[in-house]
Amino acid sequence: MRLSTIKLSGFKSFVDPTTLHLPTNMTGVVGPNGCGKSNIIDAVRWVMGESSASRLRGDSLTDVIFSGSNARKPVSQATVELIFDNSDHTISGEYASFNEISVKRTVSRDGTSNYYLNGTKCRRRDITDLFLGTGLGPRSYSIIEQGMISQIIEARPEDLRVYLEEAAGISKYKERRKETETRIRHTRENLDRLGDLRDEISKQLEHLKRQAKQAEQYQALQEERRVKDAEWKALEFRGLDGRLSKLREGLSQEETKLQQLIADQRDAEARIETSRVRREEAADALNTAQAAVYQVGSTLARLEQQIQHQRELSQRLHKARDETRQALAELGQHISGDEAKLMVLREAVEAATPQLEELQEENEIKQESLREAEDRLASWQQRWEQHTSQSSEASRAGDVERTRVDYLDKQILDADRRREALAAERAGLDVDALEEAFEQLHLQHDTQKTALDELSEDVELRKQGVAAVQEQQRNGQNELAELRKQANGLRGRLASLETLQQAALGQEQGAAVAWLKARGLDSAARVGERLDVDAGWENAVESALGQLIEGVLVDDPGSLVDALGELGDGHIALVASAGADVKAAPTSLAARVRGPAAIRRLLAHLHGAKDLSEAKALQASLPEGDSIITQSGERLGQGWLRVSRSGAAQQGALLREREINELREQIEQLQDREAELEEQLGGFREQLQAAEQQREDAQRALYQAHRAVSELAGQLQGQQGKVEAARTRIDRIEGELKQLQETLEANNEQAREARSRLENAVSSMGDLESTRQGLEGERRQLTEARDLARDAARAVRERSHSLALTLESQRAQLASLSQALERMGTQRGQLDSRLGELHSQLDEGDSPVESLQAEHQNALEERVRADRVLTEARTLLDGIDAELRNYEQTRHQRDEQALAQRERISQRKLDQQALVLSADTLQGAVEKAGFVLQDVLNALPEDARLGDWEQTVHQIDGRMRRLEPVNLAAIHEYGEASQRSDYLDSQHTDLTTALETLEDAIRKIDRETRGRFKDTFDRVNAGVQALYPRLFGGGHAYLELTGEDLLDTGVTIMARPPGKRVSSISLLSGGEKAMTAVALVFAIFQLNPAPFCLLDEVDAPLDEANVGRLANMVKEMSEKVQFLFVSHNKATMEAAHQLSGVTMREPGVSRLVSVDLEEAARLAGAA
């Protein structure tokens, strides 16, 4: 693989689209300092993925965009494209079939950077992956700058190792190892989390196991407490009746007392009502007297206010008269002074007016002289500007034509060279051979595509088969889960019914059970378990049998009569299990029962009736000794009737037994169905395993076919691209040749015209020079005349302006004084009028005060009379208020006594209601616990004490509290936690296996890395030892490892130039360091040659002899490696096959000029 073309546009100083062709393996780039040579190296580094702005000699990545110059504006985007010749298929993978590979990168002002591979947008990683293992990269040893020489030789051992790793081609192993380590880290994290979950589940299992055992103990205590609590509440209920009787008797006495207090209240209220009527009359009289007092007081206040107002008004009038007299005196003084000032100003204005007129006439004369001088100067300026424009136009035209001639000559030369190169390229393109290869690939692709379609259909059928089996398996699993759920529900119901049935059949009575167990009868069948009763008659049979329903079936009850003396508490019924059956009447209860003969004989004399009405109808014809029983349990005989209700525990025992048998049958059916489903699921699992294996085989074959089709498609696309590229290239070459011919003809014609215009411009510039000198002398004379006229006009204008300002100020003062005198005359007239009005008001102001004082004296006498009437009315009202307060105090006492009595009655009623409520609550609590209150009371001994039962319940509560908190759902939770633990154990096994596999992969990668690195190190070390003496003409150098582990050891280089004993590489000179680094890089190239090598002024620190040795070494290696180098050294330039010059004739803009040295030498020899 080799780099054939570099295209730049907008990148740094290469603002115009620029193409650098690299037809040979030795291309040199030359040019003066600062012309942009190194920008070509930066462009290659940038397009291969460099992301550091500092390595591109900038502060940010947008600095690579052309930022403008004096003559050009900044551009918005930078683009660099590298075109590689991949004819030798150095690039592997999906691009191996492409003979030409394009890598392009763009960046815009907003910082957006895009990469393209063969015109397709891609990621930066795709670019770096493309060059992995080739020795190419933005920071690889294939790009060597002058600064990198010192970096390589002075690099840390760890950094120097990177160059050897790239040469060994183990970067891809490091990448894979990094990914594998990431997977291992994630797997270990999952294992840690899984371990935490397993530990947590393990703790939960131990905890739930203890909770389940605790829950069983708690449930047993709950049942015991339920019985004792019911008995305790029954004892409390029995103690409430006596308290209720005493409470009712005391309540009657308290109600009698309340009636007497209510009568006393009524008498007090009548007296209070009479006193209130008298008080209202006295209050009306008091209000009338009070109103009279208020009226007289208001009159007095009004008269006093009017007298005070008249006195204050007289004082204000005297003060206003004195102030008016003073203002008239001051106003007269101001008028006299302003009249004197007015006379002086009029005389000054009359004297200054003639002087101002004379100065204005003189100013007009001077201004006219100034305008004439300025007009003459403006006329000269127009002639000067016309001359300057003509001179500039002639000079500009000469520069333009000279530049155009140079440009056209260069364009003609470039077009000739380009036409020859295109003709040679056109001759080397063979489209027919490319099309034939394309047709063969197309045929292979179609064949593989047909096979792929067939395999796709087969895979789809296999998937459908797997899906069908999975659906059957899923349906079976759902049905099995539902079946198990249903069976668990039935088992729970069965367990509850069996527990109730045992209690109903007396199997929980401690003494009786012990007696039966001692005689081997504890597992014997009970009567209730062996009876089969017609539907609807269960209650009747249970009522008729009573406790016999709990009877134990034995062979001979008579043989156990003697042993009954050993029975303590409790009761036992023994029934013969065998015996002669009885022939029962159709209407008898025995005809509706199947069971032991002894029971049927007992029921043969009982006749069944649906209800009491039917029983009454049968009662008249009832045989002697027989009786009738209804379905609900009422029993009738000749002259008697009995109703017997079974206890809650016994009630429904026969129905319960029937339901128990039905549940057992249903559970057996469900168990049979469960076994069938498990057998079906086992078959489904085998079918699914076989179907999945077939699907995987088909999928594997499909993948291989896909891969083959993809490879052929890639080759086909690549071949098609080659054909189209060849055709497009031929069309472009022909079009470009035609365009070049037209351009050459046009450029030649334009060059002749430009040279003619250049001669005319040079001639015109000579004629205009003499004209310029004459105009400059005339300008000096006119400027001096204009300045003299301007100074004279300015002096006259300033004197005129000063006098005008003085005169204007005097006129303004004159007008202001006139207005002030007129205003003060008006004010004097107003003040005279005001003074006369004040004298009149003072003469009339004394008479109203005397009349107001007489009215005030009359009002004072009326006030004394009104106060006396008000005092008499208030005394009467106070006496009535005292009497009313006494009556109200008496009523209040009766109210408080009645209220207290009502509260006592209410409290007694509340106590009575509380006792009744407590009794109801106790009865409801007993019934809610499943007992009948009266039965519990009857079963309790007469001497039972409430405290004993309370203590027992509290003891049970204490035992329950010691067990609390209790998780009653612990058994179910324990099962679920066990299943969860099994699932986590399976996951732990899978993750452990995966971790071992990944660790094996790491070890394999490490073995590969160690082997490759060791081999590379040895070979590069041998290369350094061989190349160093050749470059230095002696001496020796070698590489050395800094550690023992080949996975992370660093690498150092030791060098000793001929004749020196240097202990450290840092003691070498700049040239010696450069040559040592070159020896290392070239040794790496010999081991794993990169497709090309870029050298940027590497020879700068070398002397002439070392430059020659370096040039010979580069020339020797160019047989295998393509070199592009930047240099100022003549010896290095001579080694190049082609030189590309970078110029900057336009400031800030770089351009390329290329020369093929071998072709130039051949042409020179031919000449």
Q: Which pLDDT tens digit goes with each residue over 418-442?
A: 777 777 777 777 777 777 777 777 7
**Between 853 and 23, residue with greater pLDDT:** 23
Q: What is the pLDDT of residue 1063?
A: 55
**Cα separations (Å) of 355 from 197, 360, 799, 863?**
117, 9, 11, 92
**Cα separations (Å) of 199 from 192, 195, 977?**
10, 6, 12
Q: What is the pLDDT of residue 499?
A: 63
Read off φ and ψ for residue 121, nearest 5 degrees. -65, 135
Average pLDDT over residues 160-181: 76
Q: Are 1155 and 1139 in contact (CB under 8 A)?
A: yes
Which of 146, 748, 176 lies closest to 412, judged by CA? 748
User: How far apart are the C-alpha atoms of 1074 and 1072, rounded to whole Å?
Assistant: 5
Q: What is the pLDDT of residue 1142?
A: 92
User: How far apart are the C-alpha atoms of 26 and 1139, rounded to whole Å?
Assistant: 9
**Cα separations (Å) of 17 from 10, 11, 77, 739, 1155?**
7, 9, 12, 18, 19
User: How far apart are the C-alpha atoms of 990 and 933, rounded to whole Å?
Assistant: 64
pLDDT at residue 417 tops 70 = yes
Q: What is the pLDDT of residue 6?
A: 94
Q: What is the pLDDT of residue 50?
A: 84
User: How far apart are the C-alpha atoms of 93 and 718, rounded to whole Å?
Assistant: 13
User: How far apart are the C-alpha atoms of 1090 and 228, rounded to whole Å?
Assistant: 98
Whats the size of the chain, residue-wise? 1167
Q: What is the pLDDT of residue 107?
A: 92
| Digit-coded pLDDT (tens) for 118-152 | 889 999 888 888 887 677 877 777 888 766 776 77
Distance of CA 323 to the CA centre of its chain: 86
Q: What is the pLDDT of residue 122?
A: 92
Which of 1166, 1138, 999, 1157 lies closest to 29, judged by CA? 1138
pLDDT at residue 1132 tops 60 = yes
- SS3 at position 665: helix
pLDDT at residue 102 tops 90 = yes
Distance of CA 1067 to the CA centre of its chain: 58
Q: What is the pLDDT of residue 1064?
A: 67
pLDDT at residue 546 tops 70 = no
| Digit-coded pLDDT (tens) for 516-536 | 766 667 667 777 667 777 777
Average pLDDT over residues 768-792: 76
Average pLDDT over residues 875-894: 80
Q: What is the pLDDT of residue 650?
A: 42
Q: Give the confidence band of 1066 by pLDDT, cuts at 50, 70, 90.
A: confident
Which of 376, 148, 278, 235 lies closest to 1101, judged by CA? 148
Question: Which residues lie below 8 Å from residue 1114, measured CB to CB, with a gap of 6+?
Answer: 26, 1095, 1123, 1125, 1135
What are the start-end ranges of the E strands in 580-675? 593-594, 606-609, 627-630, 634-637, 640-643
| Digit-coded pLDDT (tens) for 283-333 | 778 778 777 777 777 777 777 777 777 667 767 767 777 777 777 777 777
pLDDT, mean over the chain = 78
What element of type H or E holds 290? helix 240-427
Least confident of 575-579, 580-584, 641-645, 1050-1054: 641-645
Residue with tokens 């002074």: 337
Average pLDDT over residues 492-520: 61
Whether the CA torsion 350, 352, 353, 358 is positive or negative: it is positive
Residues 15-18: contacts with CB within 8 Å, 24+ apart? 15/66, 15/72, 15/75, 15/1149, 16/1149, 16/1151, 18/1150, 18/1151, 18/1152
User: How far apart are the C-alpha atoms of 324 and 32, rounded to whole Å?
Assistant: 104
| Digit-coded pLDDT (tens) for 1098-1131 | 888 888 888 888 888 888 888 888 889 999 888 8
pLDDT at residue 817 tops 60 = yes
Question: Which residues lie below 8 Å from residue 777, measured CB to CB, with a gap of 6+?
Answer: none
pLDDT at residue 87 tops 80 = yes
Bridge partners, 101 (sequence order): 84
Q: Give the confidence band of 456 by pLDDT, cuts at 50, 70, 90.
A: confident
- SS3 at position 617: helix
pLDDT at residue 492 tops 70 = no
Distance of CA 465 to the CA centre of its chain: 43
Structure tokens at 131: 């060059």
**Alpha-helix residue ranges (DSSP H) falling in 929-969:** 933-939, 946-963
**Between 994 and 602, residue with greater pLDDT:** 994
- SS3 at position 1094: strand
Q: What is the pLDDT of residue 649?
A: 38
- SS3 at position 1089: coil
Average pLDDT over residues 567-574: 66
- DSSP assignment of 105-161 equals EEEETTS-EEEEETTEEE-HHHHHHHTTTTT-STTSTTEEEHHHHHHHHT--HHHHH
**Between 977 and 1096, residue with greater pLDDT:** 1096
Bridge partners, 80 (sequence order): 8, 105
Q: What is the pLDDT of residue 647?
A: 43
The fraction of the chain above a pLDDT of 70, given in percent, is: 86
| Digit-coded pLDDT (tens) for 362-374 | 778 877 887 787 7
Structure tokens at 842: 């003072």
**Between 465 and 769, residue with greater pLDDT:** 465
Read off φ and ψ for residue 554, nearest 5 degrees. -130, 165
User: How far apart are the C-alpha atoms of 51 and 45, rounded to whole Å?
Assistant: 10
Burial class (CB in 10 A: 0-12, 13-18, 19+), 54: exposed
Q: What is the pLDDT of residue 53?
A: 77
Strands 1051-1056 and 2-9, bridge-based pairing:
unpaired
| Digit-coded pLDDT (tens) for 947-964 | 888 888 888 888 877 777
Q: Give the confidence band of 646 by pLDDT, cuts at 50, 70, 90.
A: very low
721-727-729 Cα angle (round to 5)? 95
User: How far apart are the C-alpha atoms of 1011 and 268, rounded to whole Å?
Assistant: 125
Q: What is the pLDDT of residue 648?
A: 39
Bridge partners, 925 (sequence order): none
User: How far apart are the C-alpha atoms of 800 and 805, rounded to whole Å?
Assistant: 9
**CATH code assigned to 2-158+1011-1166:** 3.40.50.300
Question: Which residues lie below 8 Å from residue 1058, measured CB to CB, with a gap of 6+?
Answer: 1032, 1033, 1034, 1035
User: How far apart are the C-alpha atoms of 190 and 567, rounded to whole Å?
Assistant: 68
pLDDT at residue 834 tops 80 = no
pLDDT at residue 651 tops 70 = no
**Cα separations (Å) of 968 from 214, 485, 797?**
9, 20, 119
User: How far apart are the C-alpha atoms of 358 and 800, rounded to whole Å?
Assistant: 9
User: How far apart are the C-alpha atoms of 1075 and 513, rounded to whole Å?
Assistant: 111
| Digit-coded pLDDT (tens) for 185-209 | 888 887 887 788 778 778 777 777 7
pLDDT at residue 385 tops 70 = yes
User: How far apart are the C-alpha atoms of 60 and 339, rounded to whole Å?
Assistant: 86
